[in-house]
Structure 1
Amino acid sequence: MKSFNWAFVAGLALATAAEARADDRPNVLFIAVDDLNDWVGYLGGNRQTATPNIDRLAARGVRFTRSYCAAPVCNPSRAALMSGLRPSTSGVYENDDDWRTAIAPELTLPTAFRKAGYTIHGAGKIYHESYGRRTEWNEYLPTAGQDPKPTGDTGVGGIKFAPLDCKDEDLREWKIVDYAIDQLGQKHDKPFLLTVGLHKPHMPWNVPRKYYDQHPLESIELPPHRPDDLNDVPPAGVQMAKPEGDHKAMLESGRWKEAVQGYLAAISYCDAMIGRLLDGLDRSAYRDDTVIVFWGDHGWHLGEKSHWRKFALWEEATRAPLIWVAPGVTKPGTVCERTVDFMTIFPTLTDLCGVPTPKHVEGKSIRSLLVDPKAPWDQPAVTTHRFKNHAVRSEDWRYIRYENGDEELYDEKADPYEWVNLANDPKYASKKVELAKWLPTSNHPDINPTGRPGAAAKTAARAGE
């Protein structure tokens, strides 16, 4: 019996499907990950992490080593990236600020692509889920259900972690990725924007036990930290750190390493889902004509500076992964050490896809860096946390100015853990002036002023999604 060359047949079918679409603009696979800091293999933020699939994606294109969020909070970070408007422009600063009241549908990334003839599909967490506006998509996975809950102990105070005795597919991430794989397996007559938002490693760090087993407790190392790290931090920074809250409870519990294990396990589970998604893309007709952008919405502290969670303007809370794969533009295995923030994502996507960039978009395209990672780039990253609190991060420095005028300045080359605040040293006065010119000049009031920081409503929202 004659044997068929099935690989050839499959390749021909894929090529035929790809050629069938008259519009040859690239598709977009837009991958957002919740609360993923720099504990990713290619970033080297923590040597205990295991992210072979994220690293596999990074090897396909350009990986940025200095990439930062617009805001270290889920809601304002996502609202800024998706609208092109910084928090200081929109007034969206907190998790309980309904961004939809400040950002019209006409201003958003999905709308820009939809107007340009793209079909928009989505699943999972793209906007902050308390305030969805799924009418911007042609189709959105209605729900991925709820994750199983652990029995017994669930963590330390508000820091939630515990292994689950269940299968990978019992978590909602599996269903979110399933939806994306299904879309990649279908024939599309128009170019598409497929947005995929994964929740893990957002708390609770409840994932199948096998991912905890990948990080044995006896081998866990604590992140670099100093008990006196806040001694030279001004009052406004200490207030953000809240060392008497989560960190005090963690120290008293003696379970710091268990919490680190939980975060690492949640990252490993997330990485497995990324692997499934990449495999689905590689099996599809769109593997060679799809732009991929992968980003984390902000960083996360696990005791550095006596702080837990995001909600701060230091390196750990603001740094997150950024990976670009753009056929015909990026080259595999490329590393870019320029400092960028996530306000560049909207205009870079429109630039790569031939979609008009709306005039209101505040970021600039980094296409030049995708082509040549050493191309000139003079803009630092700017991160905002609440009204008039900003951080400016250049390749070598971080400058923080709070609403009350308090300042921090760190030499990132000499002091990568930001242990020595140089802001009060006259020797660095000119450096502060140089960096301060990048601070936002417009600071819109909080769109929800009745719940300003410190109010019960804000506190409750910060503890949630």
Structure 2
Amino acid sequence: MMVMFDSLNRHMLPPYGAEWTHAPNFSRLAARTVTFDACYAGSLPCMPARRELHTGRHNFLHRGWGPLEPFDDSMPELLKRHGVHTHLVTDHQHYFEDGGATYHTRYSTWEFFRGQEGDPWKGQVRDPRPPRGGDLHATRNALYRQDLVNRQHLDAEEKQPQTLTFDAGLEFLATNHAHTNWFLQIETFDPHEPFFTHQRYKDLYQHDYDGPHFDWPDYARVTETDEQAAHARYEYAALLSMCDHSLGRVLDAFDEYALWDDTLLVVCTDHGFLLGEKGWWAKVVQPWYNELAHTPLFVHDPWLPHRDGTRHAGLVQTIDIAPTLLEFFGVPRTPDMRGRPLRDAVEPDDAPGQPLRDAALFGIFGGHVNVTDGRYVYMRACAGEDNQPLFEHTLMPTRIRGRFTPAELADAELVPAEAFPFTKGTPTLRIPAATAPFLSPARFGSLLFDLATDPDQEHPIADDATELRMIRLLVGALREHDAPISQYERLGVPRDPDEVGEEHLLVAAQRATADAARLPAPRSDDFPAGRLNLRTPLTELLAEPLAADAVRRHLPGLLDSELLTVRGGGSLLQLAGATGGAGGLGRGRLAALAEELAHLFPTREDNPLLAPEHPVRSTP
């Protein structure tokens, strides 16, 4: 059995040292499992991680977010072919979009519960009412609107998708616990944003806050006040406590049915979520720091009961979960899998005390390619500003919520089958790819961290000898995982570890870029704030003619630039944070614009003669 959460922060769990979150069932879980202290993600974010869960190999070197490929091995399908009934219960809506539509059908049976995030669930033509007092979430797109619609139908905990998902999983256990040869995957989207939960979990984190609604941070730099940022962290913690409650229901079932005696239990996540650390929210738009890539993992192996309540310090990864499950049922892992059974790490037969691997590779398509040996983390950026060459290799040209366009496919080429040994004799399409300006690793430069002296990754180091060693580990991992030649070229590294030399060092050469990227973003309390202000979503700000005219005068050229194409759903403060003040978004110009907006659109506190706002009903 596997219980999988999305965006579960390791450092906020009591077994990993958190003292302020209420999660007693994770402590209870740790007493009955091996707690892995050095588990790292591989391919990121959501669906690339799930592809690894099926295939036991990294995929981020070859393509971005997408479905299982025709040549991919699938762990649940392999189990099914060997007589194991595999059952998926989930509220994770990405399984049912263009970029994930081939995963759930690999299971024998599956159930899906609606309503998470912007799941296109309930149809409503009339616009939903916004939260009372406003909302700090600035990306006011269709996803945001749909989430407001969905919440109207989730007004009780028993209606929450997470609750229904665990209800269904527990129903499967009640029906099948006395039988053998089954695999159950309970997978909830929580505690992924938005951090929507009910009052009894919020009451665990009482704090003084009378600001705008804020349970959905944008993928951006932190521009909110300290009070607002703290409130969002409490909202995440409340949802984390709801997840803990659901986990407790599973542990109760394990106790009731004596499943500890013969049932493997894996509890895991895909990645974490930044909650203000290093001045960032969320993921994807910044380097993959440890808060995101260093993940929690708990495993109970009924054949190794003496390991319950222990910890394991060696490097393991998401790619090891599929081989672990296959081995438990006696199903051979395929030659294309690069992961290894976790039992080999916990209690190896051939080499006691030896780790599964010397290095762990992780990253996102087109981003930094990262490697860690457990002490050092090396984040290799692209060698050139253009982040090229970069190609998607696929036979399934879809992404999150759409298909590749004809224009994107116009330059596609068919790559011979010999290019990649894992495609099982099939050629693939090679499609030119590009990263948006705000997603390119060139913005951040190459980074090297020593976790022994800097566990929070606040102070990148420049150490040529260590960087050379880490580059050799990186190149070795690229070879092991059949990276395309273009990745070596993009990263500016040779294809043989023995050929790595001082000419391949990048940390010192890119240090100025890295330092500039670490400067704090302007915060909302740095500027005067009228009814319309620098935090107002751009779609709302520019809809007001006087405000749009002020933006044109103070920030000339902005409205005609690609910034609005890439980040048009955010706010001016978020644009400034994303660009580091480039593109004419320096503090001086922002301050002048903020002054004029405050004069043009005063708050009712500033001008009591203004008519009161029409009251709106707050959404749940």
Shorter-chain TM-score bucket reads 0.7 to 0.9
361-370 or 119-128, which deviates more? 119-128
Q: State whether structure 2 residue 48 is matched by structure 1 residue 76.
A: yes
Q: State whether structure 2 residue 116 is matched by structure 1 residue 116.
A: no
Q: Residue 255 of structure 1 aligns to a residue in which SS?
A: helix
CA positional deviation for 1:169:
1.3
CA positional deviation for 1:409:
0.9
Q: Which residue of 2 aligns with 1:401?
A: 380
Q: State whether structure 2 residue 368 is matched by structure 1 residue 368.
A: no
Distance 1:34 1:261 in 2: 17
Q: 1:268 to 1:128 in 2, by over 3 A?
A: same
Q: 1:125 to 1:167 in 2, by over 3 A?
A: closer
Deviations 1:79-116 (A, max 9, x none): 12222231245x3423xxx323x354x61111111111
Q: Which residue of 1 aligns with 2:220?
A: 246
Q: Residue 87 of structure 1 aligns to a residue in which SS?
A: coil
Q: Which residue of 1 aligns with 2:324?
A: 348
Counterpart selection for 1:156 from 122, 126, 137: 137
CA positional deviation for 1:367:
0.9
Q: Residue 460 of structure 2 aligns to a residue in which SS?
A: coil
Distance 1:248 1:73 in 2: 21
Q: 1:417 to 1:298 in 2, by over 3 A?
A: same
Q: Which residue of 2 aligns with 1:4?
A: none
Q: Which residue of 1 aligns with 2:295?
A: 320
Distance 1:353 1:126 in 2: 26
Q: 1:108 to 1:420 in 2, by over 3 A?
A: same
Q: Which residue of 2 aligns with 1:25?
A: none
Q: Residue 57 of structure 2 aligns to a residue in which SS?
A: coil
Q: Which residue of 1 aligns with 2:241?
A: 268
Distance 2:251 2:22 in 1: 17
Contact 2:3 2:185 survives alignment (8 Å): yes
Contact 2:4 2:268 survives alignment (8 Å): yes
Unaligned segments of structure 2, at least 5 residues? 123-127, 210-216, 385-444, 488-562, 570-620
Counterpart selection for 1:37 from 3, 9, 24: 9
Q: Residue 383 of structure 1 aligns to a residue in which SS?
A: strand
Contact 1:72 1:299 survives alignment (8 Å): no
Distance 1:169 1:293 in 2: 25
Q: Residue 343 of structure 1 aligns to a residue in which SS?
A: helix
Counterpart selection for 2:35 from 39, 50, 63: 63
Q: How does 1:232-243 map to 2 (within 5 A)?
A: none
Distance 1:391 1:212 in 2: 36
CA positional deviation for 1:426:
3.1
Distance 1:92 1:77 in 2: 12
Q: State whether structure 2 residue 201 is matched by structure 1 residue 211.
A: yes
Unaligned segments of structure 1, at least 5 residues? 1-28, 220-242, 447-453, 461-465
Q: Which residue of 2 aligns with 1:418?
A: 457
CA positional deviation for 1:339:
1.8
347-356 or 264-273, which deviates more? 347-356
354-363 or 133-142, which deviates more? 133-142
Q: Which residue of 2 aligns with 1:132?
A: 101
Q: Which amino acid aligns with 1:255?
A: Q
Contact 2:260 2:302 survives alignment (8 Å): no
Q: 1:63 to 1:458 in 2, by over 3 A?
A: farther
Q: How does 1:42-53 map to 2 (within 5 A)?
A: 42-44=15-17, 46-53=18-25
Q: Residue 244 of structure 2 aligns to a residue in which SS?
A: helix
Deviations 1:346-371 (A, max 9, x none): 11221222111122111122212233
Distance 1:158 1:278 in 2: 38
Counterpart selection for 1:440 from 474, 478, 485: 478
Q: How does 1:173-322 map to 2 (within 5 A)?
A: 173-187=162-176, 189-217=179-207, 246-251=220-225, 254-284=227-257, 286-311=259-284, 312-322=287-297
Distance 2:262 2:202 in 1: 37
Distance 2:566 2:110 in 1: 30
CA positional deviation for 1:459:
9.7
Q: Which residue of 2 aligns with 1:385?
A: 364
Q: Which residue of 1 aligns with 2:437?
A: none
Q: Which amino acid aligns with 2:64?
A: Y
Contact 2:166 2:246 survives alignment (8 Å): yes
Distance 1:71 1:135 in 2: 21
Q: Which residue of 1 aligns with 2:530?
A: none
Distance 1:179 1:310 in 2: 30
Distance 2:266 2:340 in 1: 16
Q: How many residues align?
A: 393
Q: Report which of the two structures shows the higher radius of gyration computed on alpha carbons.
A: 2
Q: Which amino acid aligns with 1:246?
A: A
Contact 1:144 1:176 survives alignment (8 Å): no
Let me know the Cα RMSD of the aligned residues. 3.4
Deviations 1:16-56 (A, max 9, x none): xxxxxxxxxxxxx1111011121111012x43222111221
Q: Which amino acid aligns with 1:435?
A: L
Which TM-score applies when normalising by structure 1?
0.76
CA positional deviation for 1:308:
1.2
Distance 2:158 2:251 in 1: 17
Q: 1:56 to 1:438 in 2, by over 3 A?
A: farther
Q: Which amino acid aligns with 1:421?
A: P
Contact 1:71 1:298 survives alignment (8 Å): no
Contact 1:144 1:175 survives alignment (8 Å): no
CA positional deviation for 1:280:
2.2
CA positional deviation for 1:457:
8.8
Q: Which amino acid aligns with 2:101?
A: G
Which TM-score applies when normalising by structure 2?
0.58
Q: State whether structure 2 residue 54 is matched by structure 1 residue 54.
A: no
